[in-house]
């Protein structure tokens, strides 16, 4: 695993985007993994380590998260900016074809890219996200995303994280600690905070949440697609996930019991689903 940074051009100037590279075999394919709204590329450490047996894996931090720069203007945290960041990453490595794993927001970025003419996406994995984002899930996110909270130590932050991220599924103590450690930072005053710009929540909090309909985007996708859904998810409803198997790319659907939004992609069976999909379809 190697940490890198890429100079990107955003809506109002240049910024640096951090990303992790998991080197694969020479001549192998490339997989890009993009995280959810408040997360970062280190969420994929366990998955990427396995996938790097077959491929080089790139795990970027979208702007405002992790090792990437924060923007001066909160409105620059937008899907056009994220799409541009990914395009610049692909250009950096001269990638004409990739596989994609996207959790929540990262899946939406993947859908937009996969629907475009000339898309480089060969195969697409969507982790608990689809073309209809429910108002109920957006309301839940708005209740904690961007909250101005700080903790005296990492243990206190982890306890909070376990509560708000309980839908991730039944993780081990070590897995919870890994996720808490890689998604937090210690401020100069010694307190611990989540490692993202709280202003990314502005778009969610400014208006009354309502369903987001991206079915037209979905219907334009042609790449073979795997949809992984937490069976208790409030963001991707069962009926919408089933509809995803019947239109657009007619995805393969796997529902994971006892999990909500979103599967952590750390369990061996979840990793195997993705690895086998990329290997064999």
Instruction: Give the global pTM.
Output: 0.95
The secondary element (H helix, E strand) that includes residue 23 is none
190-206 burial, b for 16+ CB within 10 Å, e for fewer? Answer: eebebbbbbbbbebbee
Torsion of CA 105, 270, 2, 37, to 10 degrees: 20
How many C-beta neighbours within 10 Å does residue 258 have? 10
Q: Is the peptide bond before 211 cis (omega within 30 degrees of 0)?
A: no
How far is 131 from 79, CA to CA, in rounded Å? 14
Would you say 82 and 202 are in contact if contact means Cβ atoms under 8 Å apart? Answer: no
How far is 121 from 178, CA to CA, in rounded Å? 30
Which neighbouring-strand residues pair with 56? 30
How far is 106 from 37, CA to CA, in rounded Å? 8
How far is 125 from 101, CA to CA, in rounded Å? 5
Which two tokens mark 116?
């475009």
How far is 161 from 14, CA to CA, in rounded Å? 32
Would you say 273 and 228 are in contact if contact means Cβ atoms under 8 Å apart? Answer: yes
Instruction: Tell me the pLDDT of the chain (281 aa) as tens digits.
Output: 899 999 999 999 999 999 999 999 878 899 999 999 999 999 999 999 999 999 999 999 999 999 999 999 999 999 999 999 999 999 999 999 999 999 999 999 999 999 999 999 999 999 999 999 988 888 777 777 777 799 999 999 999 999 999 999 999 999 999 999 999 999 999 999 999 999 998 866 656 778 899 999 999 999 999 999 999 999 999 999 999 999 999 999 999 999 999 999 999 999 999 999 999 86
Tell me how long the chain is.
Answer: 281
Superfamily of domain 2-135+213-280: Alpha/Beta hydrolase fold, catalytic domain (3.40.50.1820)
Strands 121-127, 98-103: parallel, antiparallel or unpaired by DSSP? parallel
């Amino acid at each position: 695993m190697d940490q890198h940074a890429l100079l990107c051009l955003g809506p109002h100037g240049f910024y640096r985007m951090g990303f992790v590279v998991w080197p694969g075999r020479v001549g192998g394919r490339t997989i890009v993994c993009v995280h959810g709204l408040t997360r970062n590329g280190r969420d994929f450490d366990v998955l990427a380590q396995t996938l790097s047996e077959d491929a080089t894996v790139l795990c970027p931090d979208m702007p405002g998260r992790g090792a990437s720069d924060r923007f001066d203007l909160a409105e620059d945290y937008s899907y056009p900016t994220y799409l541009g960041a990914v395009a610049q990453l692909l250009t950096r490595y001269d990638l004409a074809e990739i596989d994609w794993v996207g959790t929540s927001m990262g899946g939406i970025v993947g859908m937009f890219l996969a629907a475009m003419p000339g898309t480089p996406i060969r195969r697409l994995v969507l982790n608990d996200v689809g073309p209809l984002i429910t108002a109920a899930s957006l309301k839940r996110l708005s209740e904690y995303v961007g909250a101005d909270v700080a903790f005296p130590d990492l243990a206190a932050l982890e306890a909070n994280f376990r509560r708000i991220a309980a839908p991730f599924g039944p993780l081990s103590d070590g897995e919870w600690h890994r996720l808490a450690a890689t998604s937090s930072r210690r401020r100069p005053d010694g307190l611990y905070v989540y490692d993202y710009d709280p202003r990314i929540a502005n778009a969610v909090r400014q208006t009354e949440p309502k369903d987001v309909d991206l079915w037209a985007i979905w219907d334009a996708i042609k790449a073979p697609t795997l949809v992984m859904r937490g069976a208790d998810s409030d963001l991707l409803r069962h009926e919408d996930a089933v509809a995803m198997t019947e239109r657009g790319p007619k995805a393969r659907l796997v529902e994971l019991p006892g999990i909500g939004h979103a599967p952590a992609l750390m369990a061996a069976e979840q990793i195997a689903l993705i690895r086998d999909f990329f290997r064999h379809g």
